[in-house]
Amino acid sequence: MALRWSWALCLLAFASAADASPQDLFGYGARSVSMAGTGAAYADDYGAVHANPAALSRARDRSLTLGYVGTGFGLALDGNYFAAAPGRATLIGLSLPLPFGGVLRNRVGVGLGFFTPTDIIVRGRILRAETPQFVVLPDRVQSVALQAGVGVDLGYGIRVGAGVTVLAALQGAVLVTNDASGRSTSRIDNQLIASYAPLVGASWERGDWRVGATLRGALVARFGVTISAPELGIPVPPLNIAGVAQYDPAQVQFEGAWQHGGFTVALAVTGKRWSAYPGPSEATTETSAAPPAPDFADTLVPRVAVEHRWTFDGGPQVVARGGYFFEPSPAPAATPTRQYLDADRHAFTFGAGLSTGGAGSRFSFDAFGQVHALATREGTAVTGAPMRYGGSLWHLGVTASVTF
């Protein structure tokens, strides 16, 4: 009985050991999410910690944002609903200028961003390659993400910045032994550790025109649990439960924007290095066959977005936003030995906001969302029969901000 419980505890340990950045799917912050994940050229709030840390140098006042987001899935396999747990999370954003004087006055800003699921710290499922699974969706919306950055205004319209994204990973061990009475017992030692990815960015502005570029390092959620049972009296090789539960590829985003008369129009393209994805799992023992290579391909994601602000007498401001991006699938079609499901996504984004306030402080309320439609894709099931998969997802949120 004790041995069975030790295995169950181990499975629970690594089944929840995943993390990744939800902002890779949607963008970060009300403005970026509702504008198709753009912002590298025009960001001016806490969302710059992901869009482009150089833009944090635009901060002139302290700003605090609190929000709530939810994500739901309507995935399908052969016309049947494919179960996927919804995600709910709180959002916290902070930006502020550093109070330097002299040549650095109003030239340096910092920002922080948190995305925290309401009921878990991290989640992921590591399945056999021949088990149908949506590898790019959906567990990525159920993981803690922390970002921090600093931006510097160099003058002449040039800004530069750097930051870091932090997530949790798991390392641990399960030792199965016999106690004094001969019963099997287990000792479990698991640790959450931090994993980091750098961000660097730059932007240039002149008149109504803005250009920006952001480079983001690969964000890898690794897990590793070693199971050993040297005293059971039967030869049990050490088991290595290890791999990558979620993966955000290294990427670069180039963007141009035009701002005039309350309008902001942005065009961007994001290149993602999915070809470096190592796959979700590793061999369990030294003699086990290696899982099939994922054979993911690099992708280019085009984005377009528009925003308009109406400012009324007395200071109230209303804003409407919208956008679209196309995310090609990096995964090849499913095969009998590799049931990695994914499909091209058409993402439609939208949002609205209201801000008001007087001297010294301003309050803003924003609502935002995205709807992703997965193109139906054909593959081959484990049995060799043809299969079809696709579906949809939605991501909605609200935020409240105070600037002071």
**Domain residue ranges of the chain, discontinuous segments joined by +:** 2-403
* pTM, two decimal places: 0.88
Nearest to 127 by CA among 381, 341, 384: 341
202 CB neighbour count, 10 Å cutoff: 21
pLDDT at 9: 38
- pLDDT of 182 above 80: no
Q: Which helix (H) or strand (E) holds 41?
A: none
pLDDT at 261: 94
The Cα–Cα gap between 68 and 99 comes to 31
Length reported for the chain: 404
Residue with tokens 């299969």: 387
Nearest to 107 by CA among 59, 65, 148: 59
Provide the 8-state DSSP code for 315: S
DSSP letter for each residue of 262-314: TEEEEEEEEEE-GGG---S---SSTTSPPPPP-----EEEEEEEEEEEEE-TT
- pLDDT of 8 above 50: no
pLDDT at 18: 33
Least confident interval from 281-285, 340-344, 392-396: 281-285
Q: What is the residue-averaged pLDDT of the chain?
A: 88
Least confident interval from 136-150, 153-167, 350-364: 136-150
DSSP letter for each residue of 174-234: EEEEE-TTS-EEEEEEEEEEEEEEEEEEEEEEETTEEEEEEEE--EEEEEEEEEE-TTSSS
Percentage of residues in the chain having pLDDT higher than 70: 90
Tokens of 392: 């949809």
Range 262-275 average pLDDT: 97
pLDDT at 180: 66
- pLDDT of 263 above 50: yes
> What is 2-403's CATH topology?
Porin (2.40.160)
- pLDDT of 240 above 90: no
